[in-house]
Amino acid sequence: MSKQTYRVCLCFQRKFKLTVAEAPAEIKAIFDRYSENGVMTVNQLHKFMVEVQGEEKATEEDAESTMETILKELKHLHLFHRKSLNLEAFFRYLFSDTNPLIHLSKVYHDMNAPLSHYFIYTGHNSYLTGNQLSSDCSDIPIVEALKRGVRVIELDMWPNSTKDNVDVLHGRTLTTPVELIKCLRSIREYAFVASEYPVIITLEDHLPPNLQAKVAEMVTQTYGDVLFSSGSECLTEFPSPESLKRRIIISTKPPKEYLESKTIKEKDNGSHKVKDSYEEEAWGKEVSDLKAQFEVFDENDPEDAEYQDDHEEHRSEEVQNVQQKPDSEYKHLIAIQAVKLKGGIKDWLTVDPDKVIRISLNEQKLEKAVINHGTDIVRFTQRNLLRVFPKSTRFDSSNYNPILGWMHGAQMVALNMQGYGRSLWLMHGLFRANGGCGYVKKPDMLLEVGPHNEVFDPKRSLTVKKTLKVKVYMGEGWYMDFHRTHFDLYSPPDFYTKVGIAGVPADSVMKKTKAIEDNWIPTWDEEFEFPLTVPELALLRIEVHEYDMSEKDDFGGQTCLPVSELRTGIRAVPLYDEKGEKYKSVKLLMRFEFV
């Protein structure tokens, strides 16, 4: 290094305080407790793993394997002596991927229960690249969703401009179409890249019978033996994810033998303005508070009139020809039958012991339904599938709080995967569970029936089951993943961390640390406690922001994790960007304990 380069680097370091991360006092004290003369042996590491990290089943062989991994990863730093660690090596180990907060690669839930017993990673309008009114339709967002582990892909099928083939697009909007066959082929190619568990394609069918026949031919030729066929018109119970490994499943409404013509409803006159998603804070609008959904409405409200489903999925009759029979081969493709909603809520939620079905509700209808029929929904979803989708006015592809659906057992809570923001972070967080396979077993409480035929009531007040204690030590990596002037032009950033719980209303809360001024490697050393009444449905939310006195605060990273997956002890917590992509270097060092 030349003298001039050295002087430039030194000046830069002074300006931005790029100091080397140093272990906090508590970490030093723990190292002293489990080491001797500044050296931690395999035996002492094992003791640390059992007593501090809560790894009660860890053996000395496990400790030795961990030690070998650490030494291999830190070899270039020369931070070790034989089979032992000094303080710096121990500190680097705590901050490394060898010390993760959750296990990301192992499927460990029972996968032999019916599909209705699982939350399923579900996308909405999976083909859109942007907003709901004018963006391009493409197979690219479908591929990206499948790579992430999404297991339910939605396709809206419409006749093409010449009425002789099938396009996928958001109907009656300015979205540019993509050919159905292109989407089908991409699904076939990428379906099982991230997970071996089944992919479900939900179809919105706006086709006449001749094009339904064409769809049947495309699907059969594209998927062949990979396509799951139920073998009967209606299933009496859904098969398990395990039995459906590497299979593709079609779900839509069976076409009727004879269809009545319907008047096409007038479309939006354009008075609604497309919202700019950046009118919200840079990291996305805060997820909606669920408490309002549990207020008791008037039982005498004429709900039957309010609950007719207006989603396009339930308007396929509009494009059918009167007296034309639908294609029988197309009908046989449908393994999971979707049912059009008729009547009031009680009619929808009738549990038939002889068959299982799928119904769909938009977010607003779900919010109304849970007020007086929450337990009916829980009971319905023990055997049947419920799909929840965004309301039609979310033109900007924003999302709603998915937890309301999960609280009531809804398996297919569909979000716009092409967007971003806190609601989508919750979705990404839940499906980091169970090895990221896209299927998460619902908590037992949502599946159990009591001695008096009672089921879980999401509105009932419960006592605290356990308390999660979270300590935020410090963070690092921003100076490697961000440009030096990203947060402030003339000084280092002022980071603070927000930590909280997303779950049932009684458990949901956000807290934050103080802001540490002018430091790329902030040390907060603050502790928080979160009493949990339903820990099975709780998600840990972590966000880092950079305080800005004159403008809105800048985004510095986020993650969301199922509380049920958390490993206790001192753990490295990787952070993700707004779109859910993992940063290369940004991590927090935190401690977790259940009491």
Q: Is the dihedral of CA 371, 372, 378, 381 positive or negative?
A: negative
**3-class SS of residue 164:** coil
Give the DSSP letter string of 272-328: SPPPPGGGS-TT-PPPPPGGGGGSPPPTTS-HHHHT----GGG-GGGGSPTTPPPPH
How is residue 88 written in tokens? 């710096």
Give, in degrees to the nearest 5, the angle at Cα 544 between 145 and 592.
Answer: 90
How is residue 444 written in tokens? 């037992």
Task: Return the C-alpha torsion angle 287, 289, 290, 295, nearest 10.
Answer: -150
Report strand pairing: 385-389 vs 539-546: unpaired
* Rounded Cα–Cα distance for residues 395 and 195 (Å): 31
Give the DSSP letter string of 373-433: HHHHHHHHHTTSEEEEE--TT-TT-----THHHHHTT-SEEEE-TTS-SHHHHHHHHHTTS
Looking at 46, 109, 117, 124, which residue is catalytic?
Answer: 124
Establish whether 170 is a catalytic residue: yes
| Contacts for 296 with CB less than 8 Å, ≥ 6 apart | 371, 372
Looking at 170, 373, 408, 428, which residue is catalytic?
Answer: 170
For 500, the enclosing helix (H) or strand (E) is strand 495-502
Active site residue ranges: 124, 170
